[in-house]
Amino acid sequence: MSDGAGGIAIHYVAEPAATARLFAGATVLCDGAMGTMLYARGVFINRCYDELNLSQPDLVREVHAEYLQAGAEIVETNTFGANRFRLEHFGFQDKVREINVAGVKLARECVEQIREKQASEAFVAGSIGPLGVRLEPLGKVGLDEAQAAFAEQIRAMAEGGPGVGVDLLIVETMTSLTEARQAILAARSEAPSLPVIVMMTVDEEGNCLDGASAETAALKLTEWGADAVGCNCSAGPATVLSVIERMRVVTSLPLAAMPNAGIPRAVEGRTLYLTSPEYMASFTRKLVKAGASFVGGCCGTTPSYTRAMKSALRALDAMETGAQVMERGESASAAPAKNKVEPPPLGQRSKIGSMVAAGDFVTMVEIVPPKGIDCSKELNGAAELHKLGVDAINVPDSPRASARMSAQSLCVQIQQNIGIETILHYTCRDRNVLSIQSDLLGASSIGLKNVLCLTGDPPKLGNYPDATAVFDVDAIGLVNIVRNLNCGLDIGKNSIGESTGFTVAVAANPGVPDIDQEVRRFAYKVEAGAEYAITQPVFDLRLLEEFLKRIESFRIPVIAGIWPLTNLRNAEFMKNDLRVSMPEEIMARMAAATSPEASRAEGVKIAQEMLAEVRPMVQGVQVSAPFGKYAAAAQVLGLVEAGVA
């Protein structure tokens, strides 16, 4: 980038320190679609969306604010089509400067507000889209005219100087390399110190719409002076990933990837983007691993996508930290030597820790917290199970995103009043990283020493679907946080004085459709510091056997989940609603039961048979107690005879 300001006094001169971080190699999260959000707010597609900067500024401001609150570090101005040629279609060709200046002002206001409220840094990028006309030799518009149109827009965006104009330019959705070059030339002429990211859009084969290959595009854009190159819009995350992989081979510039939420589909007369935020988040990790430094979304994406992508990036950071530690030949719990304390050996942290470390077979029963404040039934159940010899009580954290007494509260009451050890389920759904640390420090201080680290069910699955989720990190990131606390370090790697002494458990689900992804995530959990695992309820033992084979090279002790079915409806719910793999033989056996009593007895019998089969394969079992049927859980474990209430 040039240090000179160019010829006109009002041109923006970028503060090097302000934008240097963006190109220093760390991953930067950009926002998502503006048009999608405006359309969802009732703005018809025949309107000039760029002109809304003047006529409905609050609407545009709201969209920017939502993306920033979701975690975006760069917001793009609402100026994608704010060039002379596109504005002419709506009669606004004389308002190029006015619309662009207003667009920058709205984004800048939101960035300053987020900086003041959350003390977080964000940047304003000037969005520059195609001119919407054919250039010579195929069209009537000359290259000099195209460059002039881009220059007019960029001048307005850069107006006002540092902290007023844009921090960088994003030339996006370019269909032609020739047109992209005119935008770069205009940027270098009008605002030579502004960083410029240039992204092409491609077809399903990964080639630019003017026929150029991804490799050619990357080489040419690099040669012409772009500061970062990449791909946006296009046919969705998979196509953009393939383009980023191809570009990485031929350029050393930072890469930018901002895909659509898939290919739009017509559904009941509406055009919808069907790719989910979770799917986009999974590709965010892949894009970063492929070399993308700037990631974000395009058409069809919303702040919910940005939030999911932010969580994916945090989890990826946590994984990479663990991987770097492993590469240095250190243990998974390694930490900076100056602050680190050595956690107690696993066998000394808790009863469960000692059993896992010694290779003893562990028995656990799950007790779900009540929906009110009276937990006498749960305490009585824990007392009976303790008397029968169960080793520990597992307490879920608002399972299925339902509103219940906190798992931590019930764990404390069980341990203090009954004397049996508990395993605290802890999810990332409801807490940011500060709250996570506070909760865990508190849990350790009151004697809770066993933590099962979970991502958590999204609120839409529960009885309050409008509740918001946090997901600052996922289960992998949470394991890293707990590992650091065990080493006497807070989330900023500052000393907390002593180890929290947790045993660190993680979940595993042998029955998911994408078993490859589950195995990869399990490997990351082990790298991050997981010490044992508890599976989801298993009915198809072949899946458990296959999973155990797949993790053999990085296996930790595994405790199998067992669920005694109560009736056929319960089995159907597990199969169809929770997507648990349920063999037809089990469905047939539950269907053959002729009474409620027979159904419960058959469910217990099936669970007992599964326990007998899995016992040689695992180091323990966790038995669920559906609908508070603690006696059924005890029967599965063989601690009481069938028929005992």
Query: Is 375 known to sit in a ligand binding site?
Result: no
Residue whose tokens read 């308002």? 95
Tell me how far CA of residue 342 lies from CA of 157, 445, 610, in angstroms: 54, 18, 39
Looking at the DSSP bridge assignments, the partners of residue 265 are 272
Q: Consult the annotation and say whether 231 binds a ligand.
A: no
Beta strand 620-623 with 532-537 is unpaired
Q: How far is CA 70 from CA 75, 140, 284, in A?
A: 11, 43, 15
Query: Residue 193 in contact with residue 14, Cβ under 8 Å?
Result: yes
Looking at the DSSP assignment, which residues form a beta bridge with residue 292?
255
SS3 121: coil
340, 357, 304: which is closest to 69 by C-alpha? 304
| Residue 102, C-beta contacts closer than 8 angstroms, at least 6 positions apart | 53, 54, 57
Question: How many residues in the chain?
Answer: 645
Amino acid at 483: R
Number of helical (H) and strand (E) elements in the chain, helices listed first:
23, 18
Proportion of the chain in helix, strand, coil states, percent, rounded to 5: 45, 15, 40
- The SS3 assignment for 213 reads coil
**Bridge partner residues of 366 (DSSP):** 394
Residues whose CB is less than 8 angstroms from the CB of residue 27 and which lie 6 or more positions away in sequence, other chains included: 288, 292, 293, 294, 295, 313, 316
Find out whether 233 is annotated in a ligand binding site. yes
Residue 288: HSE in the Cβ half-sphere, 13 Å Cα cutoff: 22
Assign 561 to helix, strand or coil.
strand
8 A C-beta contact, residue 178 and residue 210: yes
CA distance 580 to 512: 8
Q: What is the rounded CA–CA span in Å between residue 162 and residue 150?
A: 20
* Calpha distance 541→543 (Å, rounded): 5
- Residue spans of alpha helices (H) in 447-583: 475-486, 515-528, 541-550, 568-572
Q: Which two tokens stand for residue 22?
A: 């963006």
Q: Which of 151, 217, 211, 197 is nearest to 7 (CA)?
A: 151
Q: Where are the beta strands (DSSP E) in 175-290?
A: 196-200, 228-233, 255-259, 265-267, 270-272
Q: Which residues are annotated as a binding site for Zn(2+)?
A: 233, 298-299
Q: Which residues are annotated binding-site positions?
A: 233, 298-299
